[in-house]
């Protein structure tokens, strides 16, 4: 939770701080989660899950490929401690989640808020395809612009 709090303070991720951060990290549809350590210290996290109600990328990928969205897995909850960035930790974590999705016969997809330009740049460097940019209503008073990506085929 300490690293997540640090990332939230520094970058505003997650956009809305969860009431129960531990439950936010271990959502019910979880297929797997991985952490990264550097020098014996936890410095990053990523998870892989089934698509949920708020996930847009599975449906977009499904429509584009004429396949069931059940054939997707959502890469999410990616964060790396600010002071350890630049070591390729984010790319390694994403790679681990992608590897697990493919092992399960699922296509990796994800949604990222448009304001998180560093994350979007990472996904694009890794060859992810931008499916769409959409407006998503997160609450009655909060409209958020979201980029939806799919891993390269």
pLDDT reported for residue 1: 86
Q: In this predicted structure, what is the pLDDT of residue 117?
A: 92
Query: Which of 57-61, 82-86, 124-128 has the weakest average pLDDT?
Result: 82-86
Angstrom distances, CA of residue 98 to CA of 35, 90, 91, 93: 14, 12, 10, 9
Residues 6 or more apart whose CB falls under 8 angstroms from that of 152 comprise 127, 128, 129
Please state, in angstroms and rounded to a whole number, the distance separating the CA atoms of residues 130 and 99: 20
28: pLDDT strictly greater than 80: no
Share above pLDDT 70 across residues of the chain, in percent, rounded to a whole number: 100
Is residue 132 scored above 90 in pLDDT? Answer: yes
Which tokens is 12 given?
């505003």
Other C-beta atoms closer than 10 Å to the C-beta of 18 total 12
Mean pLDDT of 34-53: 94
pLDDT at 153: 83
pLDDT in tens, 64-96: 999 999 999 999 999 999 999 999 999 999 999
In degrees and rounded to multiples of 5, residue 54 shows phi and psi of -90, -5
Question: For residue 1, what are the CA distances in angstroms to 15, 42, 44, 60, 112?
Answer: 15, 10, 11, 32, 20
Helix (H, G, I), strand (E, B) or coil at 40: coil
Mean pLDDT of 111-122: 94
Q: Is the per-residue pLDDT at 37 higher than 80?
A: yes
Tell me, what's the pLDDT at 15? 92
Rounded Cα–Cα distance for residues 142 and 76 (Å): 20
Say which residue the tokens 């531990």 belong to: 22
- Using DSSP, state whether 84 is helix, strand or coil: helix
pTM metric for this prediction: 0.94
More confident residue, 128 or 52: 128
What's the 3-state SS for 107-135? Answer: EEEEEEECCCHHHHHHHHHCCCEEEEEEE
Assign 107 a pLDDT band (cuts: 50, 70, 90): very high
Tokens of 13: 């991720």
Query: What integer pLDDT is reported at residue 27 of this predicted model?
Result: 81
């Amino acid at each position: 939770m300490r690293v997540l709090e640090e990332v939230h303070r520094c970058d505003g991720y997650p956009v809305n701080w969860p009431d129960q951060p531990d439950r936010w990290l271990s959502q019910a549809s979880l297929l797997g989660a991985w952490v990264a350590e550097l020098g014996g210290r936890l410095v990053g996290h990523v998870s892989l899950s089934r698509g949920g109600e708020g996930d847009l990328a599975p449906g977009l990928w499904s429509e584009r490929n004429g396949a069931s969205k059940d054939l997707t897995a959502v890469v999410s909850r990616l964060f790396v401690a600010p002071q350890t960035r630049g070591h390729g930790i984010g790319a390694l974590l994403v790679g681990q989640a992608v590897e697990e999705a493919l092992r399960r016969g699922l296509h990796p997809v994800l949604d990222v808020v448009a304001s998180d330009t560093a994350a979007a740049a990472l996904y694009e460097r890794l060859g992810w395809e931008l499916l769409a940019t959409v407006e998503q209503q997160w609450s009655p008073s909060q409209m958020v612009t979201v980029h939806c990506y799919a891993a390269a085929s």
